[in-house]
Structure 1
Amino acid sequence: MLELTLIGYWRSTADPLWPDPAWFVDESWASSERARVLAYLRDGVALWATGGHSWCRFRCGTHACGSGELSDGRFLWPEGLAHYVERHGVRPPDEFVEHALAGTPLVDISDIARTLGPGDVSIDASWWSNQRGFRAGASHLSPPRRGTFVARSPGAAPKLAVLRLIRRLPEAQALSYPALLERLAGGGAVPVLSGAFEEPIPHEISELEAAGLFIEFLPDRGEG
């Protein structure tokens, strides 16, 4: 049995029971210690990936915080946790920071994980869900912005299956298949869903991200 402690999943209107990242912002955190914890997070062993990318709860415009989960053999965290540490000064609980700074070698459990069945991994989420950080009462939550999701191709011309997926969305139907392919292959953006709230991420937008497209949210004028 592989036993891991979950950390780094954040509260949203769709998941209100997770901790709020604003509780963990520490502007006085020593930059040297922060850099070491950041490196530790990025050195974690990738265990598996989920469909679609996580989005930044601080709404900094980052909609590609990663889709994988990493581990050191004791903790399990989403790939995007490093973004919060680096970009927003989020300091994990002391227990994790002390563990990361202790110099204990990371345990490469990727080979072990591949041999385990669904019932052979025990993930404790209770420790993380009960964390309250250092800034009681702070919150990242605000009324979600309304705007338009646009899609871009990461480089190569998208395949027909991806074009069909895009064309299922109302905004993209204004373009023919040749025009859609030309725009994406040329690095252009294609509006795919307008009049949408930024979060929770619509299911159809998650499907586009899972298909390998880059997604950007453009808030309506006045939504800042």
Structure 2
Amino acid sequence: MIVNAAAYTSMDRAEADIENAYAVNATAVGILAEEALALGSLLVHYSTDCVFDGCQTTPYAETDAVNPVSVYGKSKLAGEQAIAEVAPTALILRTSWVAGIHGNNFVKTMLRLGAMQPALRVVGDRFGAPTGAALVADVTAQIVARAWLLGDSGAFAAGIYHLAAAGETSWHGYASEVLRYAAAQGAVLKTDPDRIEEIAASDYPLPAPRPANARLDTAKIRRTFGIHLPDWRMGVHHLLDQFLA
């Protein structure tokens, strides 16, 4: 098996660094697909909600039309297409709003700002499900174990699947939950978690456009592999327990 967890993930930087974004998110993925085909290996690759434009009012299913609006989203879609062109046995897991113990992420940013500033303004009209990197890893392990047990029988259900925590929230709701739980665990904050100002995305422009609706329909992965996906708050709390230990 080849598990590709590498990606160019800085959405805003990608808007100007197009060549490198495509090199990592598309060209390299195509090479891995070719190697997987040559070796007869299963390729596991991670993609994103950003292959959609976010204009749909319901959660996105795997069969919904893609229409990325950022360089990052376009490069990730190109990676999916590179896999499809080679057509190895591949598992593509689209996820969203991922945060983990390593690297920069929204949870770390809110903790830092909440400890420094008496007031915060956070976007309230973009929606999704915060998803822990640990959850993505655990689900991948379960699916890969199933593929290993099936061996070369051809019964493994390859394809594109949406993987995100259950439930939904806005970035504002996400920030409020982060600071509320952190305060309950004894973190010293200057920001009152219940008084974070909710603003529109248009009031906080960024170089890369984000989908207003990043919600993913996870029915397919739950049905196919018998996987239970916990509420997004559980992942946030688990991550904060590690940060605040």
TM-score, with normalisation over the residues of structure 2? 0.24
TM-score, with normalisation over the residues of structure 1? 0.25
Q: Which is higher, the Rg of structure 1 or of structure 2?
A: 1
Report which of the two has the higher share of helix: 2
